[in-house]
Every structure is written in structure tokens, then in C-alpha cells.
Amino acid sequence: MNNICVFCGSNSGRGEAYAEAARAMVAAIGEAGMGIVFGGGNIGLMGVIAEAALAQGVRAIGITPRRLLEREVVHTGLTELHVVESMHERKALMRQQSDAFIALPGGLGTLDELFEVAALTQLGEHQKPCSLLNTAGYFDGLRSFLDHAVAERFVTPVHRDLLLVESDPRRLVAGLRAWKPVQSSKWMDKQSQS
């Protein structure tokens, strides 16, 4: 495992706990000898990730759409900065550059990125682990929703468990490194017919 992709907010959230957890996540990734792939922003938790990586000597690879660069919300002091033309290209390059994925607290963009990579894992498009850093219980509601989706037979328990969840960054990195791919069909109705 060389690079971990970190999805996170372009806002900082309420309170300092989210920024502190982001810095600790960078430290845990760096201690494991890996680099970080992220959205390249210089604001919100993305900015915290960038500054922490640079301060700690962790390789920081930013991937940003050109329009965000033009709006000057991109960190220009990163180890590498890749400029693409669209959000779609951004997500595709982030996947290509990464061996695992961690979602920190964020908004709709963070959730979009997380669920895209999780769905691709479910479909067997790649075999890379996906996870949540559950800072201050931020993802508790999402975990409850996923349990509900399992109960309503829209998600299998195996696929619900594709998302590793931890509140401690070091344990999360260890879990990503120990993760093994699961081979299971996503179609429950098809499974019940065989």
C-alpha cells in the first residue's frame, strides 16, 4: 500500500475536533510510510490535510478540477498537483492513484466520493478498502442508515461491512492494511433463487 486517498470537507465543521482528527489521520498515514491523495484544496479540512502533510513530511498528492484552481482554492505547495477538467476526471484519477480510501467528515461531495468507490468495490471494479474516520460520532447516522438498508434488503450484510469504521486513525490504517477483498454478489434476489 503506497497511497491512501482521503476524502474530506472543504469546510472545517463545527469545533476543533475535526481538524485535530484530520491532523492525526495524516500522522497515522505518514507513520505507516504512505502518502496521501486528496482533493488538493487549501480550505476546510482539505487545507488542514495539506498543511499537516507538508509539516510532517508526508507526500501529498492533490487532484483538482481546473475551475477550482482558477478560483484560488487549491493548495499550490503540494508534493504533486494534478489539474483535470472535471469532477468526474478528478474522482477517476484519485482512484487510480490510491490503494485505499478514507472518508473524513464532509458534505455531499465527500459522500459522493465515498459511495462511488464503495460501489465500485461492491461491483468488483477494484479491490481497494474503503473506510470512515468516525470523528465525534459524525458518521453514526450514516451507519444507522446502512443498517436500515440491510434490514430492508437493499444492501447485503457483506457489502455493508465493506466500509471499515474507526474513530482512531492508527487503528483505521491498520484495518485498511489487513483488509481482504470479499467475493459476493450484490443481487439478493438472485442469491435467493439459487
- How high is the pLDDT of residue 183? 72
Interval 45-66 mean pLDDT: 95
Q: Does the structure show a pLDDT above 60 at 102?
A: yes
CATH number, residue 98:
3.40.50.450
Model pLDDT, residue 23: 98
Encode pLDDT of 3-50 as tens digits.
999 999 999 999 899 999 999 999 999 999 999 999 999 999 999 999
Task: Give the mean pLDDT of 105-130.
Answer: 93
Domains held by the chain: number: 1
- The answer to whether 176 and 164 are in contact (CB under 8 A) is yes
Band (181; pLDDT cuts 50, 70, 90)? confident
Query: What is residue 189's predicted lDDT score, i.e. its pLDDT?
Result: 61
**Secondary structure, 3-state, the chain:** CCEEEEECCCCCCCCCHHHHHHHHHHHHHHHCCCEEEECCECCHHHHHHHHHHHHHCCCEEEEEEHHHHHCCCECCCCCEEEEECCHHHHHHHHHHHCCEEEECCCCHHHHHHHHHHHHHHHCCCCCCCEEEECHHHCCHHHHHHHHHHHHCCCCCHHHHCCEEEECCHHHHHHHHHHCCCCCCCCCHHHHHHC
Structural domain range at position 147: 3-193
Task: Give mean pLDDT, residues 101-119.
Answer: 96
Question: pLDDT: is 186 or 6 the higher one?
Answer: 6
Identify whether the C-beta of residue 156 lies closer than 8 Å to the C-beta of residue 184: yes
Per-residue pLDDT band at 186 (split at 50, 70, 90) = low
Q: Return the higher-pLDDT residue of 22 and 160.
A: 22
